[in-house]
């Protein structure tokens, strides 16, 4: 018997600054109903699915941005989504900005959670690779202040045994880093879920065309899937948010690195694929049989060094 998960990637169109959580949750519920009609086992929503991509806005006082954060999950606004997903027997992965008090200090993270078909929390991931900058940068065409509003995640890249498979999560910029997938690959991950908010243009260069940026988006996920023998589900929040355009291009990628489902619009849209988790085995047991072929004695620099340093010597 094959182990197959029918997965829905719930791409979301733009969320404006003025949109309420309730209005956004109504859209997420509509996507959930499409997933129910498609008999999905699991729905993946984007990064920061409940709000506009607020790190594009600068605030001198970080606390002024706390209205974009959730203090508990589920909460009053999101409970209808959690209850409906549980009633439909559909698991969920969704991203949000998390504000938490730990060790008597306030912490803010870019977070996503995995909920099982019974509505129980399986696990939480906090974004590790925070892109952008911490101070206002007048050189950029627009700001990307994730380093100002979030701390780097402190939970690593766990993989959970849930919904009949080995499931992991990461968030947006994490998808560009091979380390992200490999740490999960070493835990035998079979499905990586991720959401993204990626500007269509580059704030620091006019030379990076939207098509090239879309190529980088897909290439990163396809390489991560192939090199680790895992499914990857990448889901965008996209379209024009208060004059700032985010790319679409949500995909479901097979363990061969092949895109098997792809969004066509820049709006709310469900993409669906049957993800046969046993399909991961061929790569994992042959070309990427880690136990047989990896040579960690030569990989020390990856954990010892952060930035690149050229070799010593002249010439």
The answer to whether 65 touches 59, Cβ cutoff 8 Å, is: yes
Site membership for ligand CDT, residue 132 (CB under 6 A): yes
Q: Which is nearer to ligand CDT, 41 or 47 (CB)?
A: 47
Q: Out of 127, 237, 279, 284, which one is annotated catalytic?
A: 127
Catalytic residue list contains 172:
yes
Site membership for ligand CDT, residue 144 (CB under 6 A): yes
Among 52, 198, 230, 254, binds ligand CDT (CB under 6 A): 198
- How many residues bind ligand CDT, per CB under 6 A? 10
User: At closest approach, how far in Å is the CB of 222 from ligand CDT?
Assistant: 15
Among 7, 15, 172, 259, binds ligand CDT (CB under 6 A): 172
Query: CA dist 185 to 78, 79, 110, 124, Å?
Result: 32, 33, 22, 18
Q: Which stretch binds ligand CDT (CB under 6 A): 70-78, 97-105, 118-126, 171-179?
A: 171-179
Q: Which is nearer to ligand CDT, 47 or 116 (CB)?
A: 47
Site membership for ligand CDT, residue 200 (CB under 6 A): no
Token pair listed for 299: 């990989």
Site membership for ligand CDT, residue 176 (CB under 6 A): yes
Query: Which residues, in sequence order, are CB contacts of 299 under 8 Å at separation 6+?
Result: none
Burial of residue 85 (CB within 10 Å: 0-12, 13-18, 19+) is buried
Q: What is the CA radius of gyration of the chain?
A: 19
Task: Give the C-alpha separation, 234 to 313, whole Å.
Answer: 43
Please report the DSSP string for 173-187 in residue order: GGGG-HHHHHHHHTT
Site membership for ligand CDT, residue 173 (CB under 6 A): yes
Site membership for ligand CDT, residue 131 (CB under 6 A): yes
CA of residue 1 relative to chain centroid, distance: 30
Site membership for ligand CDT, residue 52 (CB under 6 A): no
256-274 CB burial, b ≥16 within 10 A, e <16: ebebebbbeebebbbbbbb
Task: Give the C-alpha separation, 149 to 271, whole Å.
Answer: 31
Grouping H, G, I as helix, E, B as strand and the rest as coil, residue 56 is: helix
Among 111, 197, 222, 254, binds ligand CDT (CB under 6 A): 197
The answer to whether 27 touches 270, Cβ cutoff 8 Å, is: no
User: At closest approach, how far in Å is the CB of 198 from ligand CDT?
Assistant: 3
User: At closest approach, how far in Å is the CB of 43 from ligand CDT?
Assistant: 20
Q: Which helix (H) or strand (E) holds 261?
A: strand 259-262
Q: Out of 40, 47, 93, 280, which one is annotated catalytic?
A: 47
User: At closest approach, how far in Å is the CB of 173 from ligand CDT?
Assistant: 3
Token pair listed for 93: 């992965």
Q: Out of 172, 238, 275, 280, which one is annotated catalytic?
A: 172
User: At closest approach, how far in Å is the CB of 202 from ligand CDT?
Assistant: 7
Site membership for ligand CDT, residue 14 (CB under 6 A): no
Q: Which is nearer to ligand CDT, 121 or 219 (CB)?
A: 219
List active site positions: 47, 127, 172
Q: Give the interface with ligand CDT as residue ranges (CB under 6 A).
A: 47, 131-132, 144, 172-173, 176, 196-198
């Amino acid at each position: 018997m094959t182990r197959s998960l029918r997965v829905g990637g719930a791409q979301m169109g733009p969320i404006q600054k003025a949109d309420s959580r309730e209005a956004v949750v109504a859209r997420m519920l509509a996507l959930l109903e499409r997933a129910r009609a498609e008999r999905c086992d699991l729905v993946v929503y984007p990064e920061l699915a409940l709000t506009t991509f607020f790190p594009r806005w600068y605030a001198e006082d970080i606390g002024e941005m706390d209205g974009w954060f959730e203090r508990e999950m589920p909460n009053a606004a999101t409970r209808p989504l959690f209850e409906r997903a549980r009633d439909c027997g559909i698991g969920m992965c969704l991203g949000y900005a998390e504000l938490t008090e730990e060790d008597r200090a306030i912490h803010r993270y870019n977070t996503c959670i995995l909920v099982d078909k019974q509505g129980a929390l399986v696990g939480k991931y906090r974004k590790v690779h925070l892109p952008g900058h911490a101070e206002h940068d007048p050189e950029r065409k627009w700001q990307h202040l994730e380093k100002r509003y979030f701390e780097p995640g402190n939970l690593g890249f766990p993989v959970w045994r849930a919904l009949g498979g080995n499931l992991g999560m990461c968030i947006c910029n994490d998808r560009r880093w091979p380390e992200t997938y490999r740490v999960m690959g070493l835990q035998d991950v079979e499905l990586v879920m991720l959401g993204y908010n990626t500007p269509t243009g580059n704030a620091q260069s006019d030379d990076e065309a939207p098509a090239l940026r879309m190529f980088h988006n897909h290439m990163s996920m396809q390489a991560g899937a192939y090199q680790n023998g895992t499914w990857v589900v990448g889901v965008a929040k996209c379209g024009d948010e208060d004059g700032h355009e985010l790319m679409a291009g949500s995909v479901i990628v097979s363990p061969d690195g092949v895109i098997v489902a792809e969004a066509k619009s820049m709006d709310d849209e469900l993409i669906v694929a049957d993800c046969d988790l046993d399909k991961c085995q061929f790569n994992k047991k042959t070309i990427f049989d880690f136990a047989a072929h990896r040579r960690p004695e030569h990989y020390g620099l990856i954990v010892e060094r952060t930035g690149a340093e050229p070799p010593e010597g002249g010439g």
